[in-house]
């Protein structure tokens, strides 16, 4: 075996240029695929984070059937046991009560459809860092303050700013008319374009009054201590809550479109990768073909003097493996700084309004950071290595049917 | 003692399309220690005969016994081992592995046979010295002349002490000095190591050195003479 390794190592340097070109193509394949996967993953992670952390949370509790209808009639009483969930369900950090529904917002001649959410200012901030997302004005001081916060996208549509008065119109609990006039106390910015064009916050008590839904909630969003604990939290809640009255959903269930869109996009990405791999494979295969073809005579001699076919095949396979390892390792190592760069300096289209708006339609902010995850590096390097190694099986096939007598008849 | 015995060897290439009768019922016996040349014009069947005697090719008809073993009964894999362990090969040219040094090439077959390292090194070094390559042991084939390369090939074939060495036109690509030199070496090793040499040639100077000359013509043995040299 040692001899085979020595032979293989020396053989790959017989044609330095070819070895380096082949290794380089593998290198770029690894680098490119790592970068592609990292950016794709990074963009989606950020997008999910934007909707989950900024508003939805990983888990929510509703009255049964609420999420399907989003109707104020499917509300539930804000009982203490629910508000004190963190005390009896492990993995839950904060329970954030909300009452939310859709409304029409108007200011001067402008109107726009919005989501009006009644919040507990303290708890809401604990989960979504809402106070830190203020871009103008000030945050709510208490639950009864008759004022509202607008997402800056909404403010833009309404052409309203801090100090202006905005009128909200909606249908309240059991169909009562809901109407109110509130001063804009502050503006909030959401990274998610979807949220940014529809969020309006009222203090919980004010919202309840507006909707005519005293002491009721539409949802309790849960801040979890650790993202990975979501399944356990779900399981505990489903076991302990009366599931004929409540539904417990994680964000996957609440936003199936998002999950689906990501899956579709990821599949598209893999298709691109497949094409990339295919192109690289042809290059490598060309090298393998040349390598075996030009050494037919030599192979004949080696088989004649007593080298076993399997030894010779392994030797040639090792050569290709070495070239592949060279390219893969170099690509793997080079990926780190490159991906890290794009992790720290995301590709940013926000200076171009057109591109930004296009992405906004799909719910993306126009910023694409690369995910910096060892798993991605490793998997891409491994995939390329596997492909190469598989291609390298060709010499086995070739050598298995090589007749030394014919090989040496030139 | 008979090392090689061939009986009724016949070889027909392309039997289904354009049949070429390369060998026509050849009988041959080679004894231990012989220094024998197979001679004949190009196309007379020398290479075919050596390939079949060496187990590289199978005859269309006839049998070969090596040290009493009928090699036609050996499976493909057994035959490969048998070849490696009992027969040394020297080919016309490009015998050596380009990426290995003279020393590494010389010990290659011993390595395949798993000789202990110390023995391997001692034997190949001694042989390389004997063939006048003491100062070239760490050279790659590309740094050696054609004659030097053939000497390394002879050492490689000889080093693991095979029953016999088959050399197909080993001097075909050498000038006359190198040819004489290589034959001197082969003859001396034949004496000293008592190893049987069977080589083909159509070079008169080489023929003159053989102690037995088997002449092939059109796939048949037309003469078999022994000389006292
Ligand atoms: N693989 C083969 N296929 C077809 N014909 C062959 C093959 N090998 C040798 N021959 C033919 O067999 C005859 C003997 O060839 P060979 O044994 O190479 O002779 P020599 O070595 O004496 O020149 C020649 O006519 C040659 O063309
Ligand atoms: Mg010939």
Per-domain residue ranges for chain A? 2-51+258-409, 65-242
Most confident of A85-89, A141-145, A147-151, A282-286: A147-151
| A15-60 tens-digit pLDDT | 899 999 999 998 998 899 888 889 888 888 888 888 888 889 999 9
Contact A56, A192 (CB under 8 A): no
Residue A187 phi, psi dihedral angles, 5° rounding: -120, 140
Closest Cβ opposite residue A301 in set B91, B100, B112:
B91
Most informative mutation of B17, B20, B54, B218 for ligand 1 (most atoms within 8 A of CB): B20
Sign of torsion over alpha carbons B41, B46, B48, B49? positive
CA-CA distance, B153 to B127, in Å (whole number)?
A: 11
SS (H, E, C) B126-147: HHHHHCCCHHHCCCCHHHCCHH
Q: Report DSSP state, residue B114.
A: T
Angstrom distance (rounded) from CA B54 to CA B9: 13
Given the DSSP bridges, would you call strands A347-348 and A367-368 parallel, antiparallel or unpaired?
antiparallel
- The answer, yes or no, to whether residue A365 has pLDDT greater than 80, is no
How is A128-166 classified by DSSP, letter by letter? H-GGGGEEEE----STT--EEEEEHHHHHHHT--TT-EE
**CA gap B141, B100 in Å, rounded:** 8
Cβ atoms B37, A385 nearer than 8 A: no
Position A182 scores a pLDDT of 96
pLDDT at position A410: 63
- What whole-number distance in Å separates Cα of residue B110 and Cα of residue B118? 11
Using CB atoms, which residue from B81, B89, B113 is nearest to A304? B89
With cut-offs at 50, 70 and 90, classify the pLDDT of residue A384.
Answer: confident
B201 lines ligand 1 (CB under 6 A): no
Asked if B154 and B189 count as a contact pair (C-beta separation under 8 A), the reply is yes
CB spacing of A405 vs B112 below 8 angstroms = no
List of residues 6+ apart from B190 with CB closer than 8 A: B33, B35, B196, B197
d(CA B221, CA B24): 9
Specify the ligand 1 atom closest to the Cα of B42: 23
Contact A202, A166 (CB under 8 A): no
Query: Does position B211 have pLDDT exceeding 80, yes or no?
Result: yes
Give the number of other CB atoms < 10 A from CB of residue A382.
Answer: 13
Question: Both tokens of residue A199?
Answer: 């969020």
Model confidence at A82: pLDDT above 90: no
Residue B219: nearest ligand to its CA? 1
B133-184 pLDDT per residue, tens = 999 999 999 999 999 999 999 999 999 999 899 999 999 889 999 999 999 9
Q: Is the pLDDT of residue A313 over 80?
A: yes
Q: Is the CB of B46 under 6 A from ligand 1?
A: yes
**Residue pair A211/A218 in contact by the 8 Å Cβ criterion:** no
CA angle in degrees (0–180, nearest 5) for A52-A53-A58: 50
Q: Is B51 in the pocket of ligand 1 (CB under 6 A)?
A: no
Mean pLDDT of chain A: 90
Q: Is the CB of B44 under 6 A from ligand 1?
A: yes
Cβ contacts from A onto B, under 8 A: 48
Query: Which residues are CB-contacts of A237 (< 8 A; sequence separation ≥ 6)?
Result: A59, A61, A89, A248
Considering the entire predicted model, what is its pTM?
A: 0.79
**8 Å CB contact between B117 and B93:** no
User: Residue B70 is inside which H or E element, if any?
Assistant: strand B69-70
Residue B47 near ligand 1, beta carbon < 6 Å: yes
Instruction: For B31-42, write each residue's pLDDT tens digit.
Output: 999 999 999 999
The mean per-residue pLDDT over the stretch A328-344 comes to 89
CA distances from B164 to B2, B154, B207 (A): 11, 12, 19
Quickly state the pLDDT bin for A349 (edges 50, 70, 90). Answer: confident
pLDDT (average), residues A102-114: 95
Q: How far is the CA of B6 from the centre of ligand 1 (A)?
A: 19
Range scoring the smallest mean pLDDT among A124-128, A221-225, A390-394, B184-188: A390-394
Contact residues on chain B for A306, CB-CB shorter than 8 A: 80-81, 83-85, 109, 112-113
Spell out the residues 6+ positions from residue A209 whose beta carbon is closer than 8 angstroms to its own.
Answer: A180
pLDDT at position A363:
67
Q: Using alpha carbons, list the distances in angstroms from residue A45 to A50, A239, A318, A377, B11.
A: 8, 30, 39, 17, 72
B3-48 confidence digits (pLDDT tens):
999 999 999 999 899 999 999 999 999 999 999 999 999 999 999 9
Element housing A284 (H / E): helix A256-293
| Interchain CB contact of A19 with B (< 8 Å) | no
| Statement: residue A79 has pLDDT above 90 | no
């Amino acid at each position: 075996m040692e001899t085979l390794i020595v032979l293989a190592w020396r053989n790959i340097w017989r044609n330095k240029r070819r070895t380096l070109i082949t290794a380089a193509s593998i290198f770029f394949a690894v680098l490119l695929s790592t970068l592609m996967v990292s950016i794709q993953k990074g963009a989606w992670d950020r997008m999910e984070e934007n909707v989950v952390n900024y508003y939805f949370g990983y888990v929510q509790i509703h009255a049964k059937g609420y999420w399907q209808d989003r109707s104020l009639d499917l509300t539930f009483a804000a009982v203490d046991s629910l508000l004190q969930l963190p005390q009896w369900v492990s993995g839950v950090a904060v329970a954030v009560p909300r009452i939310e529904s859709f409304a029409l917002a108007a200011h001067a001649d402008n109107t726009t459809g919005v989501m009006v959410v009644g919040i507990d200012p303290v708890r809401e901030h604990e989960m979504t860092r809402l106070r830190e997302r203020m871009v103008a004005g000030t945050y709510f001081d208490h639950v009864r303050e008759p004022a509202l916060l607008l997402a800056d996208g909404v403010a833009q549509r309404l052409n309203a700013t801090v100090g202006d008065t905005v009128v909200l119109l909606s249908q309240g609990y059991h169909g009562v008319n809901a109407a109110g006039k509130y001063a804009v106390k502050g503006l909030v910015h959401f990274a998610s374009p979807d949220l940014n064009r529809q969020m309006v916050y009222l203090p919980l008590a004010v919202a309840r009054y507006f909707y005519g839904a005293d002491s009721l909630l539409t949802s309790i969003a849960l801040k979890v201590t650790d993202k990975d604990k979501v399944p356990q939290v779900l399981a505990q809640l489903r076991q302990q809550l009366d599931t004929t009255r409540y539904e417990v959903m994680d964000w996957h269930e609440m936003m199936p479109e998002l999950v689906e869109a990501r899956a579709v996009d990821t599949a598209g990405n893999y298709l691109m990768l497949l094409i990339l791999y295919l192109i690289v494979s042809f290059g490598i295969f060309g090298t393998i073909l040349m390598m075996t073809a030009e050494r037919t005579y030599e192979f004949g001699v080696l088989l004649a003097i007593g080298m076993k076919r399997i030894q010779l095949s392994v030797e040639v396979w090792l050569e290709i493996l070495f070239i592949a390892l060279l390219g893969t390792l170099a690509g793997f190592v080079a990926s780190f700084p490159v991906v890290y760069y794009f992790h720290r300096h995301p590709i940013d289209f926000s200076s171009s309004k057109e591109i930004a708006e296009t992405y906004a339609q799909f719910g993306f902010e126009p910023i694409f950071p690369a995910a910096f995850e060892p798993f991605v590096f490793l998997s891409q390097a491994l995939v390329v290595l596997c492909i190469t190694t598989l291609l390298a099986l060709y010499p086995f096939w070739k050598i298995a049917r090589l007749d030394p007598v014919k090989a040496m008849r030139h | 003692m008979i090392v090689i015995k061939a009986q009724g060897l016949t070889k027909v290439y392309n039997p289904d399309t354009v049949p070429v009768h390369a060998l026509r019922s050849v009988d041959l016996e080679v004894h231990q220690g012989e220094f024998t040349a197979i001679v004949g014009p190009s196309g007379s069947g020398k290479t075919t005969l050596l390939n079949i005697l060496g187990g590289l090719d199978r005859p269309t008809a006839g049998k070969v016994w090596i040290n009493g073993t009928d090699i036609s009964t050996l499976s493909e894999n057994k035959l490969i081992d048998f070849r490696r362990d009992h027969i040394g090969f020297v080919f016309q040219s490009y015998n050596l592995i380009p990426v290995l040094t003279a020393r590494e090439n010389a010990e290659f077959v011993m390595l395949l046979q798993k000789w202990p390292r110390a023995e391997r090194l001692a034997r190949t070094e001694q042989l390389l010295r004997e063939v006048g390559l003491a100062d070239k042991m760490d050279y790659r084939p590309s740094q050696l002349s054609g004659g030097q390369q053939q000497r390394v090939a002879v050492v490689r074939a000889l080093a693991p002490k095979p029953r016999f060495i088959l050399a197909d036109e080993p001097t075909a690509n050498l000038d006359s000095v190198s040819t004489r030199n290589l034959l001197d070496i082969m003859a001396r090793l034949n004496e000293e190591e008592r190893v049987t040499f069977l080589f083909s040639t159509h070079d008169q100077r080489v023929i003159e050195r053989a102690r037995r000359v088997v002449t092939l013509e059109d796939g048949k043995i037309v003469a078999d003479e022994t000389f006292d040299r």
